[in-house]
Amino acid sequence: MIRKLFTRVIVASQLPRNPFPGEMLPLERLRLFQWACQFQPKTVLEVGTGVGGSTFYLSMALQRWNGVLHSCDPVRQPPVGFLRRFSGTLVYHPWKSEQLIDHLLRTQSIPDMIFFDGPEIPELALQDLRKLEPFLAPGCMFAMHDWSQPGGRNSRIVSIKASQLRPYMEQTDKWTLVDLLHGHSKNVWWTKRGYDSVGLCLYRYAGGTSAMTAAA
């Protein structure tokens, strides 16, 4: 009961109130919002809009410095009121991730922050990131939800969307781990659950000395 109260108080004191639903746990929403505010990206790519949980917090952060969020989901989308609220900040695309990535490259809208929370297709996240890498500038931030893999202590973890990308990120010298919420252990003392995340990572891009252009 005490931890439940702490969770509500801490999250409410640091996060804007979100009237829209979402699937991310309170600590995950808080970290994503904090990361966006800390690094202040100008252009963000989000794969997996869903009903707008993470999209809301990214948009709230980006409004502070007139950043732009490009978010895609061919199956689900936020309600009309959501899209109107963030007009000028959020650009929703009812496309698959590869279509949006192609569009961003064609229009030279290269993201300096990326957030993946897409479908349960293990090879997709790796393919998308590898396609983007040659065009990214050093310092680009990358985050992904459902980072922890099934088979550990937290039996609620079932997602396999990061199963191919995670080994790549952990082995390559192109990316440096900045922060991580573990899915199979508790991350902060004040959360109400036995496990307070299904895994949320933050990496910084270090590969290359200059970004390519789509026309190169």
Domain boundaries defined on the chain:
2-14+22-137+156-205
What token pair was written down for 138? Answer: 């050093």
How crowded is residue 66: how many other Cβ atoms within 10 Å of its Cβ?
9
Interior/surface letters 85-101, b for 16+ CB within 10 angstroms, e for the rest? bbeebbbbbeebbeebb
d(CA 140, CA 198): 23
Q: Check pLDDT > 50 for residue 209.
A: no
Q: Check pLDDT > 50 for residue 216.
A: no
Residue 46: phi and psi, rounded to 5, are -120, 125
Residues 148-200: tens digit of each pLDDT: 999 999 999 999 999 999 999 999 999 999 999 999 999 999 888 789 999 99
pTM assigned to the model:
0.93
What token pair was written down for 142? Answer: 């990358």
Residue 107: phi and psi, rounded to 5, are -95, 10
Phi-psi region of 17 (alpha: psi -120 to 50; beta: other; left: phi over 0): beta
What token pair was written down for 62? Answer: 């980006």
Q: Which of 12-26, 47-61, 97-111, 117-131 has the lowest mean pLDDT?
A: 12-26
Q: What is the CATH architecture assignment of 2-14+22-137+156-205?
A: 3-Layer(aba) Sandwich (3.40)
Average pLDDT, the chain: 92
